[in-house]
Amino acid sequence: MSSELKDPETPQPVGLVERLVRDDLDRKRFLKMAGTAGAASFGAFVLAACGSSKTSSTASTAATTAAAGATSASATTTDIGILNYALTLEYLETEFYAKVLAAKLFTGKVGALLTDFAREEKTHVEALKGAVEKMGGTPAANPNGTFPIENATQVAELAYTVENLGAAAYLGQAPLIQSPAVLATALAIHTVEARHAASLGTLVKKSLTPDGAFAKPDSMETVLAAVKPFLG
């Protein structure tokens, strides 16, 4: 995946969350379709959002169909990019935990907890790669991260930082996600990252909710700058 960022002045696509907040009709349609999320549901949602009508003229119908196709293509491109961005972060987390476990700095309950975290991050990688492929994209390559593994205290504090960063990264992309299915996947992973961070907060005696009552999202630019030192 390219780490090249879009020009901040370039209009960004309106994501699913923002559409639902703005438009009560979209909210009702989304809730009605929630039980059948997936590619077919997303296609129906896009067509409904375009406002096609049985009484439209042939010309209007053709224009609506073309707009729907363009919107769907744009949405797919956006979502694949976000999935690959998330995949890159999950690669790094997976490699981090693999190196931590290999160093054998932790035993007992803490060692078992980190082993669980490592397995869950690896599962995230597999799920995100599958999602990208299902949407017709090419999964991002593993960046081969490098991490300082010095002692148990340093590693635990780094893990706390990394997990909080991961949770903020998912939250930062949520408003840009177009597909309900992709949004559901991102939020399902986001909550696990946040729980990892909270568990590690207990371990290193730091706040379980460092941002207070509302978690703060991080932009792609902020996250990529933060993980740059770990990229091989």
Nearest Cα to Cα of residue 46 among 21, 24, 66: 66
Work out the average pLDDT over 115-139: 97
pLDDT of 28 reads: 54
Work out the average pLDDT over 2-27: 49
pLDDT of 102 reads: 97
Work out the average pLDDT over 60-89: 67
Q: Is the pLDDT of residue 103 over 70?
A: yes
Q: Is the pLDDT of residue 16 over 60?
A: no
User: Higher-confidence residue: 182 or 70?
Assistant: 182
Work out the average pLDDT over 221-231: 93
Cα–Cα distance for residue pair 152/53, rounded to 1 Å: 63
Domains, in order of start, for the chain: 75-230 (1.20.1260.10)
pLDDT of 34 reads: 43
pLDDT of 172 reads: 96
pLDDT of 10 reads: 43
pLDDT band for position 58 (cuts 50, 70, 90)? very low
Cα–Cα distance for residue pair 177/190, rounded to 1 Å: 14
Q: Identity (one letter) of the amino acid at 32?
A: K
pLDDT band for position 231 (cuts 50, 70, 90)? confident
Lowest mean pLDDT among 52-56, 189-193, 228-232: 52-56
Can you spell out the DSSP letters for the chain? ---PPPPTTSPPPPPHHHHHHH-HHHHHHHHHHGGG-SHHHHHHHHHHHTT--TT--HHHHHHHHHHHHHHHHHHHHHHHHHHHHHHHHHHHHHHHHHHHHHHT---HHHHHHHHHHHHHHHHHHHHHHHHHHHTT--PPPP---------HHHHHHHHHHHHHHHHHHHHHHGGG---HHHHHHHHHHHHHHHHHHHHHHHHHT--SSTTTTSPPP--HHHHHHHHGGG--
Work out the average pLDDT over 48-76: 44
Question: Residues 177-213: pLDDT tens digits?
Answer: 999 999 999 999 999 999 999 999 999 999 999 999 9
* pTM of the predicted structure, to 2 decimals: 0.71
What is the number of other CB atoms lying within 10 angstroms of the CB of residue 40?
Answer: 10
Give the CB-side neighbour count of residue 100, counting CA atoms within 13 A.
26
Q: What percent of the chain lies above the pLDDT cut of 90?
A: 65
pLDDT of 37 reads: 40
